[in-house]
A and B are shown apart, each in its own frame.
Chain A
Amino acid sequence: MDNNSLASARKPVRVLDGPLMLIICAVVVAILIILGFLGLPNNTLRYFFKIFLYIVMGSMWNLMSGFTGMTSLGQQVFVGLAGYSVCVMTTTCGMSFWMGILCAAVIGVVFSLLLSTFLFRMRGMYFAIATWVVAEAICTWFKSWEFVQMGSGMKTVTRPKPTTLDVYIWALTLFVIAMVVVYVLLRTKTGLGLTAMRDDTDAASSLGVNIVMSKRLVYIIAALFTALAGALYWINSGTIYPDSGFDINWTVAMVFIVIVGGIGTVAGPIVGAIIYVVLSEVLAKFPGWSNIILGAIAILVIVFLPDGVMGTLQKKLRFDIFSQKRFSEPKAKNSKKAA
């Protein structure tokens, strides 16, 4: 077995990212646009709409957890804040939903910047729980805040009401931009430094990357795109409550998507989001069982397929889509973390 793994290690990893790969991606996107205008049924468009948004959110969670080692359980705070931004701008202020989206983006960036000042003092489990506590605190606050009509929720009043095709195209655009951002970010010195840090702290410091600034950048980018995805979702959905906006299930979905798709791979969240949306549509026929089955699948994947679908495929077939060189293989070190 040892000899085997050594032999396969010698076989070079084919990184698929040259001009050919870019052309393929462009073609896929073009097909998706054409399909939209060719008049796919609205139900199908909504499917794709959901998949695009979940890819964006999953990729952002992946960027944080998979590439930089920040496991957040509180990303729902940005989804909820974005939803409320859209509602407040359109309903309370009577402006267009474009202002709502802008507002969601600004609030996402400002709030994440604010949070990062104290969240970044924490590590590992403390970071994870702190993000969740913050989300819960905001949720509790919104439930008793009259400005957002407390627990009774808010509506988006969008004039003119965007068509399904509109939101489809916007979500597709957001998805493409998000993937480009992930791709570019991972190629920069910042991205390389962060991955290095996740794999090996010494290697990262020797690269001379300002880790805190880089992590903050990733955190803010993740917040921004999660907020944008949330804004689109709530424009389409229309009504938000504190319990639905700040629902931990948003993060549950992101975690599922990344784990199943393949943590730390660029293509993983795309595969994961497709699996998630299709599965949850199928499982909707079995009310009550859907989360049980999703949870069980996630656990089985962690136990038996810890690299997820894409991670396992990439390892087996020795290829890598749009990825940087990884600094080291899985952490085999049994390092004791001092308390």
Chain B
Amino acid sequence: MSEPILKVEGVQAKYGDFIAVHSATLDVPEGKIVSLIGSNGAGKSTLMDTVAGLHKPSAGKIYFKGEDITGLPAEKIVLRGLSLVPQGSRCFIRMSVEDNLIMGSFPKTARKNVKKNLERVYSLFPVLKEKRNDPSGSLSGGQRQMVAIGRALMTEPDCLLFDELSLGLAPTIIKDIYANVKDINRDGTTILLVEQDTQRAIKTGEICHVMLKGNVVLSGLSKELGDDEIKKAYFGI
């Protein structure tokens, strides 16, 4: 297996006195789709925020492409090629779709390829091209998710984190978006996928991690992990 592009070692994250992530350790090998599952409140989203730099870890180390990025702010981490599509898409709702996407080119490294990247996003999500001048606040949930994905792609990431990709979306849209995720991976971007939809995550991700109560309790190749084993880890029984 290739050298992991992202290594999380014993990361702890707290909100005030509340410890959301106790000690999370996981690897994301380059070029793969990796899924991270766990029940509500297992600490998945906090871990994602911490890796992306939105939240400061209180212990542990995070390495990206072999370099220590622990505690760097989000705006520095994205420059290194790690981008997060946050839970609930978090579009800039008062800005047009195209302005949202162009915001993804804010990192200086990405600016020279704005046009090219914009075309790539529009070919991935044709509906966004139609609505390019609409404020993103007027879009449907699925379309907003597309904007958020497109925006993250515009930053030219080597590794993309998706937090609760399918949350609140209709099944047909979820199917389309998952197809897109696979396309993005095929183009060479490593993907870490956080999901509550366990079945889909296991089917999509080559490698699977399971979180429970703030810890990563099970890791392995998805096809080698048994249903029972996952269920046990997921529910902690």
Contacts and interface: CB of A to CB of B under 8 A. Distances in A.
Q: State yes or no: do A and B touch (Cβ within 8 Å).
A: yes
A329 B16 CA distance: 9
A2 B16 CA distance: 11
Nearest to A339: B94
Nearest to B59: A2
Contacts of A2: 58
Contacts of B15: 332-333
Please tell me the size bucket of the interface on A: under 10
Nearest to B90: A336
Interface of B: 15-16, 58
Nearest to A332: B16
B101 to A, nearest CB: 22
Nearest to B14: A2
A164 B58 CA distance: 60
Contacts of B16: 329, 332-333
A132 B169 CA distance: 46
A333 B55 CA distance: 12
Contacts of B58: 2
- Which 6 residue pairs are nearest across A and B when measured between Cβ atoms? A332-B16, A332-B15, A329-B16, A2-B58, A333-B15, A333-B16
A329 B18 CA distance: 12
Interface of A: 2, 329, 332-333
A333 B18 CA distance: 11
Contacts of A332: 15-16
6 contacts: A2-B58, A329-B16, A332-B15, A332-B16, A333-B15, A333-B16
Nearest to B58: A2
A329 B15 CA distance: 12
Contacts of A333: 15-16
Contacts of A329: 16
Nearest to B18: A332
Nearest to A9: B17
A109 B16 CA distance: 41
B52 to A, nearest CB: 15
B162 to A, nearest CB: 21
Nearest to A330: B16
A2 B15 CA distance: 13
A244 to B, nearest CB: 44
A333 B15 CA distance: 8
A4 B165 CA distance: 40
B74 to A, nearest CB: 13
B70 to A, nearest CB: 16
A55 to B, nearest CB: 34
Nearest to A328: B16
Nearest to A6: B17
Nearest to B16: A332
A251 B32 CA distance: 62
A332 B16 CA distance: 6
A238 B58 CA distance: 61
A330 B58 CA distance: 19
A200 to B, nearest CB: 12
A328 to B, nearest CB: 8
A332 B15 CA distance: 8
A1 to B, nearest CB: 11
B170 to A, nearest CB: 25
A333 B14 CA distance: 11
A46 B96 CA distance: 63
Nearest to A329: B16
A290 B16 CA distance: 40
Nearest to A2: B58
A11 to B, nearest CB: 15
A149 B70 CA distance: 68
A228 B166 CA distance: 61
